[in-house]
């Protein structure tokens, strides 16, 4: 008898794992704490602090966002299929959170790119201020190019983005040309 | 290890301010820097932690502090002090890159600062120590010193370009490396000296050539003038004989040149391969001693090819570079001397027009080099993709992806072609430019020189002198070029050398205690006391694990995938060292045991079976190559491998491993088990060792293991619980912690996680009518 219960329970648990809980305007309310963290009220139940994770951070940053508890269990509470279905306020606080999580300064200007001793030394202006970083040269994966969008990973695995190569000046392009 | 720096060390500028402002009431424990504010804007932060306060300073200036100015100006920092008593729940929220440090201040979780990966380690340490203080525990003194994951070069403050390589390429002592390298050439001292002498000789011979084919030919022989030449000493005046002598001299010079070249080539051929092989051998030998952690996160194929190219790189500068420095210098000085002696004015013109070519080569050579390396990179990419495609051929077919694979490869191949075209285009342009610059110089020199010959300018010059002169001008080009790239070459090869030495010098993270007591007779009692371990800092995979296994017992380890089971047994075999706590075998800490004793007494059948290239016999006898056929067959029988081996046409002589015959997953596992059985260890560890074999075979293996298990401690990890039915004791691991332990019966009575798992497995099987 007891055994059957456990099995039943497990099946339910598995079912729960297999069904994607869709978070919508109707069942989920996100709010921001004073410290800038996000809490979730789901079906009238306070779930506490949550983390929002992009499942396609590069190709679809606003879709299929996984919402998980902020403890170390990181249990998935549900998925936001499209962030834009939510009200403006929610979009704002979640976007702010995502921006922090997927921190990726945008490179606006390239001052110099130099290669020395097997490392590429970059000096750039980002939307977050002037910055210098080093990326391992020659190793594939440190510069990801997708059409005119370029993502550069430095040796610390920090990422930098060039949103549109064609917006750089020809002089900057020339500096970059060899490294892309 | 005594050079470890305390984490309380602050930059000078900051120290002054902290003292002036009397910011700290008690002793500083840790100093850390961070580089972002809570909105993730670049911004400077300093964190100072003492026993009773956390002081946070920031300049609130957006933008990364001027990156060109290494000295940070701390004078405009504003500081906030948080009393420890006001703080609770310090938390690091890790992001994809870096993370955020927050704590509960006045009942509200409040961000303190954020950081990119470069500053992660230190901030995490602050959080760790803060938690320890808040929990009123004792701070471990060693946690207040930097450890292997320190982030910055001590000398120049630059972040290390490679995290697991604590070398700052700008600050490394190249001279020291050089001398160390030079010692590799010691056995060839004599030959190297010979090479250098040959270089000097050929430089000398080379410098004679312009005289022969210039003044001597035109001004003396052809002009029938004996004065001021070697012919003056001769008693007769037959210019056809002089011409003959000159021709012989010229032929002699050319022969000598070739001869020196040949001898040099032979010597080089004798030295280079030996030194390269020697370096590689040394590197591979020392790799064998390194801890496993050295290899994780390194692409092994890449590692090997890099070592090979590094060794070649390093050797080449000794052979093609250094011996030529002196001769080239000599050529320059000698040519200049002759040129100035002949005609100072023309010499000035010639030398003044030389720089454009040199500058072109200095400026464009690196670019060319870069294009070429990109060419190699794309070619490597292509090979990798192709290899991927071929080894994964079955998957490709199975999913019917041949067409798209073709397109994918085509794309990569196009990249290769494009890179090649680019490199060639550039090469052509570069060469043309260089030659134009060079010819311009010689045309100019020649024109002005011709004016001298025609006596437009005084003093008049003979045609032969002009030929000699231009001969020297062109002699200069080689050395000028040489010196323009030797510096780059030098630093590149020193960097290669550094990488080699690094492996040679790498201290394994797991080291043998030199005072380890030999302990050949291990009984097999295993005790874990409060073991905590993480592969990465601050991400604990095992937390306070304690357990005991008595000699001869069988311990079953159960838990979800990723719970830390494999990690636990890796620690017992000392593939890694525990972060905290201790592991005892027969009451002796594994850190105090010799590696050889550990390896001899513990055999591991791991989750990832590895079959070496060789015969099945070799593979089973791996642990004991001197094992005879009978022993190997016995081991194979015990592992239920004998039957399938017999069915192979070549039996135990079947070649397996890469390039050999394919084996099924279960067959590989059984060979691994046989390998472990043959090792006859006191402690046998089976990590999912029978996961890929059918239940029937598993039962057979278990029966024979049971026989073998006598007098042997066995740790068995299994997802299939029926595998562990015979275990004397079971532990359940959940997210790095032992949540349940006891016998099968006890755990069933307890009706906890194990009970649940067991029920599910047997019920699920029973429901489908295949229960056992
Ligand atoms: N070399 C490594 N570096 C970093 N993390 C690792 C490494 N090896 C394992 N881990 C992590 O440690 C955790 C425990 O891994 P472990 O291999 O011990 O799991 P396991 O219990 O054996 O799982 P399974 O049943 O799937 O074999 C996992 O989260 C894994 O991602
Ligand atoms: Mg495992």
DSSP B216-233: IIIIIIITT--TTSGGGG
Min Cα distance A150 → chain B (Å) is 17
Could you give the percent of chain A with pLDDT greater than 90?
10
Tell me, in angstroms, the distance from the centre of ligand 1 to residue B569's CA: 11
pLDDT digits (tens, 9 = 90+) for A48-88: 889 898 888 777 788 889 898 887 777 888 889 899 999 99
DSSP conformation letters of A121-180: EEEEEETTEEEEEEEESS-TTSEEEETTEEEEE-TTS-EEEES-GGGS-HHHHHHHHTT-
Tokens of B324: 């030529």
d(CA A96, CA B409): 40
d(CA B192, CA B385): 43
**Interface-testing mutation among B112, B161, B560, with chain A (most A C-beta atoms within 10 A):** B161
Tell me, in angstroms, the distance from the centre of ligand 2 to residue B605's CA: 11
d(CA B62, CA B475): 57
In B63-175, beta strands by DSSP E:
78-83, 87-94, 99-105, 108-115
How far, in whole angstroms, is CA B383 from its chain's centroid?
A: 21
Q: Say whether pLDDT at A97 is over 60.
A: yes
- Indicate the residue of B102, B117, B366 with minimum beta-carbon distance to A158: B117
Beta pairing partners, B111: B102
Contacts of B486 (CB under 8 A, 6+ apart): B321, B325
**Which residue's C-alpha comes closest to atom 26 of ligand 1?**
B561
Min Cα distance B122 → chain A (Å) is 14
10 Å CB burial of residue A160 (0-12, 13-18, 19+) is buried
Q: Is B53 left (phi over 0), alpha (psi -120 to 50) or beta?
A: beta
| 3-class DSSP state of B323 | helix
Tokens of B621: 């006898």
Mean pLDDT throughout A18-44?
A: 85
What is chain A's length? 180
Low-confidence spans in chain B with pLDDT less than 50: 1-2, 65, 149, 770-772
Strands B554-559 and B713-717: parallel
Q: CA geometry: angle at B554 spanning B550 and B559, to 5°?
A: 115
d(CA B194, CA B323): 10
Q: CA geometry: angle at B414 spanning B411 and B417, to 5°?
A: 160
d(CA B493, CA B559): 50
Question: Which residues from chain B sit within 8 angstroms of residue A101, using beta carbons?
Answer: 95-96
Residue B748 touches partner A, C-beta closer than 8 Å: no
The answer to whether the CB of B326 falls within 8 A of the CB of B196 is yes
Q: Say whether pLDDT at A163 is over 90.
A: no
Question: Which residues from chain A sit within 8 angstroms of residue B736, using beta carbons?
Answer: none
| 3-class DSSP state of B512 | coil
Residue B526 pLDDT = 93
**Ramachandran angles phi, psi of B105, nearest 5°:** -120, 120
d(CA B48, CA B18): 10
Min Cα distance B98 → chain A (Å) is 8
Tokens of A130: 């002037």
Helices (H) and strands (E) in chain A — how many of each? 3, 11
Q: CA quadruple B8, B9, B14, B20: dihedral positive or negative?
A: positive
Tokens of B103: 């704590």
Q: CA quadruple B664, B665, B670, B675: dihedral positive or negative?
A: positive
Residue B296 pLDDT = 61
d(CA B113, CA B100): 6
Which of A167, A3, A52 is closest to B759 using CA atoms? A3
Radius of gyration for chain B, computed over Cα atoms and rounded to the nearest angstrom = 37
Q: CB of B354 closer than 6 A to ligand 1?
A: no
The answer to whether the CB of A130 falls within 8 A of the CB of A109 is no
d(CA B246, CA A137): 55
Ligand 1 atom showing the smallest separation from residue B563 Cα = 21
Strands B683-687 and B713-717: parallel
The half-sphere exposure of B389 on its side-chain side, counting CA atoms within 13 A, is: 18
Which of B591, B619, B404, B617 is closest to B513 using CA atoms? B591
Q: pTM for this structure?
A: 0.64
Strands B655-656 and B614-615: antiparallel
The answer to whether the CB of B564 falls within 8 A of the CB of B546 is no
Q: Hey, are the CB atoms on B62 and A3 less than 8 Å from each other?
A: no
**Ramachandran angles phi, psi of B312, nearest 5°:** -65, -45
**Other residues' Cβ atoms within 10 Å of the Cβ of residue B240:** 8
Beta pairing partners, B528: B547, B583
Tokens of B579: 């972060």
Q: CB of B672 closer than 6 A to ligand 1?
A: no
Residue B507 pLDDT = 66
B463-466: which pairs have CB atoms within 8 A and are 24 or more residues apart? B463/B218, B463/B219, B464/B214, B464/B215, B464/B216, B464/B217, B464/B218, B464/B219, B464/B220, B464/B222, B464/B223, B465/B214, B465/B215, B465/B219, B465/B342, B465/B343, B466/B214
Question: Which residues from chain B sit within 8 angstroms of residue A105, using beta carbons?
Answer: 42
Tokens of B203: 């430089």
d(CA B474, CA B335): 10
Q: CB of B576 closer than 6 A to ligand 1?
A: no
Strands B580-585 and B526-533: antiparallel
Min Cα distance A81 → chain B (Å) is 21
Residue B393 pLDDT = 76
d(CA B12, CA B61): 21
d(CA B552, CA B684): 10
Residues of chain A that touch chain B, judged by Cβ-Cβ distance less than 8 Å:
2-4, 6-7, 10, 33-37, 49, 51, 57, 70, 72, 99-105, 115-119, 123, 126, 128-132, 134, 136, 138, 140, 155-159, 178
What is chain B's length? 772
Ligand 1 atom showing the smallest separation from residue B733 Cα = 21
Radius of gyration for chain A, computed over Cα atoms and rounded to the nearest angstrom = 22
Place of tokens 């497990």: A10
């Amino acid at each position: 008898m007891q055994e059957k219960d456990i099995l039943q329970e497990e099946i339910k648990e598995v079912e729960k794992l297999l069904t994607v809980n869709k978070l919508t305007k109707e069942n989920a309310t996100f709010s921001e704490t004073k410290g800038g963290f996000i809490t979730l009220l789901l079906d009238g139940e306070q779930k506490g602090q949550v983390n929002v994770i992009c499942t396609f951070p590069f190709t679809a940053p606003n879709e299929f966002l996984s919402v998980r508890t902020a403890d170390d269990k990181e249990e998935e509470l549900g998925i936001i299929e499209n962030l834009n279905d939510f009200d403006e306020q929610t979009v704002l606080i979640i976007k702010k959170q995502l921006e922090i999580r997927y921190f990726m300064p945008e490179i606006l200007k390239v001052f110099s790119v130099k290669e020395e001793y097997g490392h590429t030394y970059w000096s750039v202006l980002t939307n977050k201020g002037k910055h210098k970083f080093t990326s391992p040269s020659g190793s594939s994966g440190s510069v990801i190019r997708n059409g005119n969008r370029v993502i550069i990973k430095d040796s610390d695995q920090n990422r930098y983005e060039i949103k549109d190569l064609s917006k750089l000046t020809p002089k900057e392009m020339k500096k970059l040309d060899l490294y892309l | 290890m005594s050079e470890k720096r305390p984490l309380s060390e602050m930059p000078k500028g900051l120290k002054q301010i902290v003292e002036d402002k009397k910011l700290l009431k008690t002793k500083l424990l840790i100093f850390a820097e961070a580089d972002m504010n809570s909105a993730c804007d670049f911004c400077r932060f300093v964190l100072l932690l003492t026993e009773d306060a956390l002081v946070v300073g920031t300049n609130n200036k957006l933008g990364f502090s001027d990156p060109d100015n290494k000295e940070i100006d701390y004078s405009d920092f504003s500081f906030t002090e948080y009393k420890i008593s006001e703080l609770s729940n310090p938390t690091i929220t890790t992001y994809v890159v870096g993370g955020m440090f927050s704590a509960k201040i006045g009942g509200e979780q409040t961000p303190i600062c954020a950081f990119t990966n470069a500053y992660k380690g230190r901030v995490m340490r602050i959080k760790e120590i803060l938690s320890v203080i808040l929990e009123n525990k004792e701070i471990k003194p060693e946690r207040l010193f930097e450890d292997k994951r320190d982030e910055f070069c001590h000398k120049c403050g630059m972040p290390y370009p490679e995290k697991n390589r604590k070398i700052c390429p700008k600050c490394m002592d190249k001279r020291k490396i050089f001398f160390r390298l030079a010692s590799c050439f010691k056995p060839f001292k004599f030959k190297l000296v010979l090479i250098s002498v040959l270089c000097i000789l050929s430089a000398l011979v080379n410098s004679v050539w312009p005289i022969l084919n210039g003044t001597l030919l035109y001004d003396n022989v052809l002009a029938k003038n004996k004065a001021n030449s070697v012919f003056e000493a001769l008693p007769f005046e037959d210019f056809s004989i002089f011409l003959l002598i000159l021709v012989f001299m010229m032929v002699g010079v050319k022969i000598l040149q070739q001869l020196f070249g040949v001898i040099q080539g032979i010597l080089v051929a004798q030295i280079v391969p030996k030194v390269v092989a020697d370096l590689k051998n040394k590197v591979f030998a020392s790799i064998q001693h390194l801890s496993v952690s050295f290899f994780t996160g390194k692409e092994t194929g890449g590692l090997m090819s890099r070592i090979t190219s590094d060794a070649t790189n390093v050797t080449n500068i000794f052979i093609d570079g250094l011996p030529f420095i002196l001769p080239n210098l000599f050529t320059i000085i000698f040519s200049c001397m002759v040129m100035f002696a002949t005609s100072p004015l023309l010499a000035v013109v010639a030398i003044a027009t030389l720089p454009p070519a040199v500058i072109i080569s200095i400026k464009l050579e690196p670019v060319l080099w870069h294009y070429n390396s990109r060419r190699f990179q794309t070619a490597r990419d292509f090979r990798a993709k192709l290899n991927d495609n071929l080894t994964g051929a079955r998957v490709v077919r199975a999913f019917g992806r041949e067409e798209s694979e073709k397109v994918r490869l085509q794309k990569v191949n196009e990249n290769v072609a494009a890179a090649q075209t680019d490199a060639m285009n550039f090469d052509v342009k570069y060469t043309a430019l260089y030659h134009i610059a060079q010819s311009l110089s010689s045309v100019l020199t020649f024109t002005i020189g011709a004016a001298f010959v025609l006596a437009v300018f005084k003093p008049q010059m003979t045609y032969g002198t002009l030929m000699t002169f231009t001969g020297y001008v062109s002699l200069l080009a080689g050395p000028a070029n040489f010196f323009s790239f030797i510096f780059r070459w030098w630093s590149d090869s020193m960097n290669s050398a550094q990488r080699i030495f690094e492996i040679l010098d790498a201290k394994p993270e797991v080291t043998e205690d030199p005072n380890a007591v030999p302990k050949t007779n291990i009984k097999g009692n295993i005790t874990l006391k409060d073991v905590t371990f993480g592969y990465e800092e601050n991400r604990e995979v095992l937390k306070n694990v304690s357990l005991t296994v008595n000699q001869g017992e069988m311990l079953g380890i159960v838990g979800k995938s990723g719970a830390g089971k494999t990690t636990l047994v890796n620690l017992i075999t000392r593939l890694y060292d525990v972060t905290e706590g201790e592991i005892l075998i027969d009451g002796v800490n594994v850190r105090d045991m010799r590696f050889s004793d550990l390896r001899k007494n513990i055999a591991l059948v791991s989750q990832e079976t590895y079959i070496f290239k060789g015969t099945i016999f070799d593979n089973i006898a791996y642990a004991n190559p001197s094992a005879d056929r009978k022993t190997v067959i016995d081991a194979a029988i015990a592992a239920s491998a004998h039957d399938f081996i017999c069915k192979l046409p070549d039996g135990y002589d079947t070649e397996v491993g890469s390039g050999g015959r394919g084996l099924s997953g279960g067959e590989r596992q059984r060979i691994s088990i046989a390998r472990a059985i043959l090792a006859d260890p006191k402690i046998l560890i089976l990590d999912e060792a029978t996961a890929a074999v059918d239940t029937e075979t598993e039962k057979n293996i278990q029966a024979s293991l049971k026989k073998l298990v006598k007098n042997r401690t066995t740790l068995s990890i299994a997802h299939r619980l029926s595998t562990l039915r015979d275990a004397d004791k079971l532990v359940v691991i959940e997210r790095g912690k032992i949540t349940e332990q006891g016998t099968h019966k006890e755990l069933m009575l307890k009706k906890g996680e194990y009970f649940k798992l067991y029920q599910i497995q047997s019920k699920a099987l029973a429901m489908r009518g295949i229960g056992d």
